[in-house]
């Protein structure tokens, strides 16, 4: 199937500009300030058979920032995802489903970490994928890990931004400890600090509330609430009322399919 809506350079540039101003947390935009495009998202589109599209629920002019089209993923001889269409426009999209339903696989497919047996993946290069586990290299400190990721993407203003992010996520005192000596919750917070230090158009968060204490969960919700409206954020979760409330679009994953659950009015 041919791609219907290629990524528009000007759209990506706008998204990057918003994020480069200070990452997700320091973006300074409130979720409620979303553009007219998303306000008009109450157009409930017709969903054909089992194929669901996040864009179906958004405004007609909402360009997808990332997409899986007709995507099938086979793992261990089992089709975990079957011909799904998943298009991410700006705003928060929640992917909800029980364990083993394919949420993680959908995120990993978007991040390019699992091959598609069929279909296509249309994703900009600046994707930030934070998986189940914190993706921090043992032997390095939290600061060194953040520095590596930021340098890899070629971000500027490195040290000040990293220090601010570590401070914000409550890791100031532990920033220079090797990550393997930190608690699971601290490692998770260090991973989430990447939201502040890496400018990305598309953010994929897999169970981001796992292992977080109440304060850190609040911080994450705050980060998502304050995210620039130009960023497309996909959150996979078992079910989290607060993130559901923030979401512009909500999808259920199960039986290899992605089906729309609701659209924010």
Partner 1 sequence: MLRRVLLVAGREARADRRQADGLVAAITFMAVLVLLLSLVVGPHVARERGVAPALFWVALLFAAVITAQRSFERELADDALDGVLALPGGRDALYAGKLLAIAGSLAAVALIGGLLQLVFLDLDVALPGHLAIAAALGVAALPPIVVLDVVLTLRLRARAALVPILALPVLLPQLVAGTNAVTAAIAGDEPTAVAWSLLILAFGVIYTVLGLTIVPTAIE
Residues within the interface to partner 1 (CB under 8 A): 108, 111-115, 125-129, 131-140, 144, 148-149, 151-154, 178-180, 187
Nearest CA among 225, 265, 263 for reference residue 31? 225
Question: By C-beta, is 51 or 210 nearer to partner 1?
Answer: 210
Find tokens 């011909």 and name the residue: 83
Question: By C-beta, is 28 or 125 nearer to partner 1?
Answer: 125
Close Cβ partners of 200 (under 8 Å, ≥ 6 residues apart):
19, 126, 127, 128, 231
Q: Minimum CB separation from partner 1 for residue 19, in Å?
A: 15
Nearest CA among 16, 123, 11, 126 for reference residue 61? 11
Question: By C-beta, is 216 or 248 nearer to partner 1?
Answer: 216
**Partner residues linked to 75 by β-bridges:** 78
Q: Minimum CB separation from partner 1 for residue 72, in Å?
A: 17
142 close to 171: Cβ distance less than 8 angstroms: yes
Rounded Cα distance, 25 and 170, in Å? 14
Q: Minimum CB separation from partner 1 for residue 254, in Å?
A: 24
Nearest CA among 73, 3, 51, 23 for reference residue 227? 23
95 close to 258: Cβ distance less than 8 angstroms: yes
52 close to 84: Cβ distance less than 8 angstroms: yes
Question: By C-beta, is 33 or 76 nearer to partner 1?
Answer: 76
Question: By C-beta, is 57 or 129 nearer to partner 1?
Answer: 129
Question: By C-beta, is 6 or 139 nearer to partner 1?
Answer: 139
Cβ burial, residue 32 (10 Å; 0-12/13-18/19+): exposed
Q: Minimum CB separation from partner 1 for residue 22, in Å?
A: 21
């Amino acid at each position: 199937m041919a791609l219907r809506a290629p990524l528009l350079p000007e759209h990506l540039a706008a998204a990057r500009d918003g994020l480069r101003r200070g990452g997700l947390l320091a973006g300074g935009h409130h979720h409620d300030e979303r553009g007219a495009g998303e306000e008009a998202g109450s157009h409930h589109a017709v969903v054909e058979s089992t194929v669901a599209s996040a864009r179906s629920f958004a405004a007609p002019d909402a360009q997808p920032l990332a997409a899986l089209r007709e995507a099938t993923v086979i793992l261990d001889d089992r089709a975990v995802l079957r011909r799904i269409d998943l298009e991410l426009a700006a705003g928060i999209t929640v992917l909800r489903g029980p364990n083993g339903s394919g949420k993680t696989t959908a995120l990993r497919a978007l991040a390019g970490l699992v091959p598609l047996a069929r279909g296509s993946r249309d994703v900009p290069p600046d994707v930030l994928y934070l998986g189940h586990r914190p993706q921090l290299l043992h032997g390095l400190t939290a600061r060194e890990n953040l520095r590596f990721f930021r340098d890899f993407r070629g971000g500027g203003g490195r040290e000040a931004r990293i220090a601010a992010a570590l401070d914000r996520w409550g890791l100031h005192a532990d920033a220079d400890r090797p990550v393997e000596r930190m608690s699971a919750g601290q490692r998770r917070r260090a991973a989430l600090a990447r939201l502040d230090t890496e400018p990305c158009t598309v953010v994929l968060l897999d169970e981001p509330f796992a292992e977080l204490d109440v304060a850190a969960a609040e911080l994450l919700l705050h980060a998502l609430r304050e995210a620039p409206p130009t960023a497309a954020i996909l959150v996979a979760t078992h079910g989290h009322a607060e993130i559901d409330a923030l979401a512009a679009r909500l999808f259920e994953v199960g039986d290899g399919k992605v089906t729309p659950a609701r659209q924010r009015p």
